[in-house]
Structure 1
């Protein structure tokens, strides 16, 4: 059964914000959060996004956002901090050339503050960053986006941006719907526009008995620096009343330039290219903990587990307070069988962040592997306490509850996993198994149908549905399901066995023996001698008849 690892930064009239040159003092996170909430807007549509108010002229407000948020021209409304709604007039949308940025305007007699513009060139690795926006609601029961404000740190500020102007990289947790939202420094100044982020969800391959662990990814959230906007705005006729900074002087590539290339290549699945880029980032900055952490993730994905651990060790050497390498090293140690080492790493992650849901979730998985099922449930409970929307923790707790005999408790947890992640094929499949055990055959079939709808290559769901169809008398439907399971996974011994038993019940002795023999051969190849011997016994009984 598959388990899930979770992964581990007002003036009335004409209002403008000027780039400040004097010494700035850091604000508390709460103070920046208050500023952010007053100037961040929701762009509510079928594909929602976020934006930030950057100018007021009379009753006309200008909003800056990511261009991809406002290119669909679907019906959209701007929702301001006071909950008022204004129709988005697409005739006011002005995309900026060559970058994923756009502005638009709306009119209101209400009084809304505007952002204070910072100097993004001064945002360097390790400095505080905040991101605000409106994540799209994942649960079907939640009809509207909910404001979100997260803290993190800048991990790179490249002088050579990626396509569409992306140059800022930060560790903040971001989610779909936050695109176009503001990025702030610790003075509460606008330093960028968020555009791309890692959802931090687990995508476990259902075809694997021991699925590959998905890792917390550090520095996978990308934004466009505000200085890029300012340099282009004057040339594009987008006046926000702020003097643009001088053009950057072209210099030799620096570590941040290679780091952001590594992030981009890793996101696109170019793992070898990512390693090359991270190698260069490390060559130029041998103390770059985030680069070691990210390279470790790529190495692990490529099967170099020991190399990954070496990288996580180096990341922690240069930044012992960075939580992600503890989580990632713990995951690899668990894969390599060092369960106690994994628990030690998750304990350290929890020491640095006692509210880190991912660490509790992953420690629960290891405790379960060690037979401590109650300890696992305790950890999943804590993961849920600190993140009540943690679909993976509900899923994992559902597995343990069902194994302990609490079938209804398992179903309840799968219900919650599905509520917070409606596309979780594993949760539907597992809930189907429990419904079947409790006698709800049709409910189980409905769950397998939904599993297959989400993932048409889910061989287990076809096999499970085939068993139910057979129980309900639909022999041909069952055979069709076993055929599909075998097509997806030609080494699926159980599907051959199940198809063979149905063929025997239908009087097709020859094909039945063929399927059973194939199942026996596969079990033998897999080292399952007990199943191999049992099936040979069944074949012998059939041939004697």
Structure 2
């Protein structure tokens, strides 16, 4: 089940529709050459850099956007996405859902563990989104992102709470069910099965047959994460 294992970073970015009238599908957009002067311009260049696989540069752009507009939840969301990409390694030649493989969970948890620091930063940014915005779309993305980040950080209970809320916000979100099933792995086999069955059903309804087939094969073969 290779594709489903590496969905997190790529799917979050592919679902990035947070700027008005743009970036719903900007994976081929070139990096913006113009030096930004406004928060919105930094956001735009940051997204281009994120899609150009330059997450560290994207973080720098989001830092500047936040300096210019400290209450813009979109900048925190984008910075969290970029931080998540930094905490991953690229798999050369991979397919749509195989672009990133996370370095690992924050275990053992300590201030000297670089993975711990990175996930803490992501969690903090996602939390800022939830504090600053009442937009349901941003709330949903932040809940899913923070749930996955908390899982990697080793805080499964909080991760489950976030993903439960994400599913409450959008009961038809296949990725939320997939993510919750992954968090439940090694603890609640029946819960994993229910969530992944639901995710596979939703992916199929939504036309993502590859992800649906991957999940179904994993379930049929008992290969739970």
Same fold per superposition (TM over 0.5): yes
Aligned to 2:145: 464
Equivalent of 2:124, from 443, 446, 451?
A: 446
Pick the aligned partner of 1:475 from 156, 161, 181.
156
Alignment of 1:31-46 (within 5 A): none
Distance in 2 between residues matched to 1:489 and 1:403, nearest whole Å:
25
Higher RCO (CA < 8 A, seq sep 6+): 2
Choose the corresponding residue for 1:395, options 34, 43, 48. 43
Segments of structure 2 that go 5 or more residues without pairing to the other structure are 1-13, 88-117
Whether 1:536 and 2:184 are equivalent positions in the alignment is no
State whether residues 29 and 48 of structure 2, in contact with CA within 8 Å, keep that contact through their aligned partners in structure 1: no
Structure 1-normalised TM-score?
0.30
Identify the structure with the greater helix proportion.
2
**Partners in 1 of 2:27 and 2:78 — Cα distance?**
22
Paired residue for 1:373, among 24, 30, 34?
A: 30
> How many correspondences in the alignment?
178
Name 2:196's counterpart in structure 1.
516
Give the 5 Å matches for 1:3-402.
Answer: 209=15, 211=17, 214=20, 369=26, 371-374=28-31, 377-378=32-33, 381=34, 384=36, 388=37, 390-402=38-50
Hey, what's the Cα distance between the residues in 2 that align with 1:541 and 1:455?
A: 42
Q: Do the aligned partners of residues 370 and 516 (structure 1) sit closer, same or farther apart at CA in structure 2, a change above 3 Å counting? A: closer
Residues 433 and 210 of structure 1: CA distance in aligned 2, closer, same or farther (over 3 Å)? closer
More strand by share: 1
Tell me: CA distance 1:437–1:531, structure 2 relative to 1, closer, same or farther (3 Å). Answer: same
Matching residue within 54, 62, 69 for 1:406 = 54
8 Å CA contact 2:119–2:152 kept in 1: the answer is no
The Cα shift of 1:433 comes to: 2.0
Deviation at 1:480, TM superposition (A): 0.5
Gaps of 5+ in 1: 1-207, 215-330, 332-361
Gap change, CA 1:433 and 1:212, over 3 Å in 2: closer
Rounded to whole Å, the distance in 1 between the matches of 2:18 and 2:73 is 17
Partner SS, residue 505 of structure 1: coil
